[in-house]
Structure 1
Amino acid sequence: MVPVPVGLLGGAGTGQFALLAAGYWSNVVAVDPSPLMLSELRRKVAATGAPVTVAEGGYLTFEWPAGSADLVYSRYALHHLPDFWKALALDRMRRMLRTGGILRVWDVAYNFPVSAAVERIEHWCSTGYSDEEGGWTRADLEEHVTYEHSTFTWLLEPMFTQAGFSIESAEYDDDGIFAKYLLRAV
C-alpha cells in the first residue's frame, strides 16, 4: 500500500479494512448506511484508537466535497444497488475523487455469458457450506442471487467508463462470480 491523503470507504461495515487502512492513510473516512454496523465500527475505533472518521450514509446519500478524495474503496457493497442506482452511485464517487484518483471495487459480478448463467449460478450455490461448517450456506448464496443486485461484468464495466473512470485492471475468479477492479478517475 502507498500513503493516501484522503481515503473514503463505502460500505465500510464493521471496519475490518478501515482499521487496516488507518495505518497507511492520513485521513480515513469509513461510511456505511447501517446503524448496527456503525455501532460496531465505532466500538472498534474507540478500542484501537485508530484515526478513522465514521460517517453514516450510502453511495447515494453521503456528501463529500467534489474532487477532494484520493481513493474510494468499495468491497462487496455495490451489489446492494440495482443497476440504475449503481450508475448514479459511480457518478457520485467519480465526482468525489480528484482527477487521477483511484476507485477500488471488489464485488460479486458475473463474468460469463447469459447462456452459461444457470450452470454457473448452480455451481456457485453448490459450494455453500452446511450450517454446521460456518460461512455462506447454499441458502445464503441462493438468497444473494434472488434478492441482491449483482450484475454481469459486461454491464458493469460500461458503467465505470460512463461515470468517468478508466479501467486500469480487472481480475475475475475462475468461476466467473467475483471481480476486482482498479479504476482511475479521468
Structure 2
Amino acid sequence: MRRTALLGLPAVLLLAACSTTVAGQASPAAPTAPSAPTAPSSAGPSDADRAAVADLFDGLSRSSRSGLAEHAEYMAEHNHPEFTYTADECLSAFRGAGLEDGYTVDYVADTDSMVPDDGWTLGADLGRYAGLEPSGEVYVLPVDVTQTFRGTTDGYSADLHAAILDGTAYFFFSCDGA
C-alpha cells in the first residue's frame, strides 16, 4: 500500500500537470463562406517538427537527472510562450507533490504517431490559461513516461500536446500547485 502511495503522488502530479491532462479540447472550425474552398489547416508534421518534438522530450528527461531545480527550470523554459510558468512555480509544484532530488522521469515520445490537433484549446480547469488556443502548429502524440522515485519505478502512457512556433518546439506542462 505504501509503495502505491509513493508512486501515486508523483504520477498524479505529472499526469495532472503534464499530459493531455493539460486538458483541452478541439474547437469547431470556423464556418467558411459557401464559395470558399476548404483545405486542411495542417498537412501533418514535417521531419523537422518530429525531430524538434523528440529533442524537446529528450531534454526534459535529461533535466530530471540533474535534480528537481534543473527539471523545473527546463520545464518552465520550454513551455509554450503563451502558457508560461516560472521555474519557481514548477519547483514549488513538484515539492508540493512530495517530490525531491532523486526523482527522475523519462519521456519517450512516439513522433511517428504525432498528428495535428487543429483548434485544440486548453481545458476550463487550467485557471489563468483556461480556453487558450495556443498559436503555432499544435500536435498530439503518445508518450511513454517512466518515473523513478525513492527506488521504485512506475510507468504509464499518455497523449501529450506539443507545438511548433517559429521553428521551436514547446509543450504544455502545468506548474500550478498540486
TM-score band by shorter chain is under 0.3
> TM-score, with normalisation over the residues of structure 2?
0.26
Greater RCO, CA 8 A, separation 6+: 2
User: Could you state the TM-score of these two structures normalised by the residue count of structure 1?
Assistant: 0.25
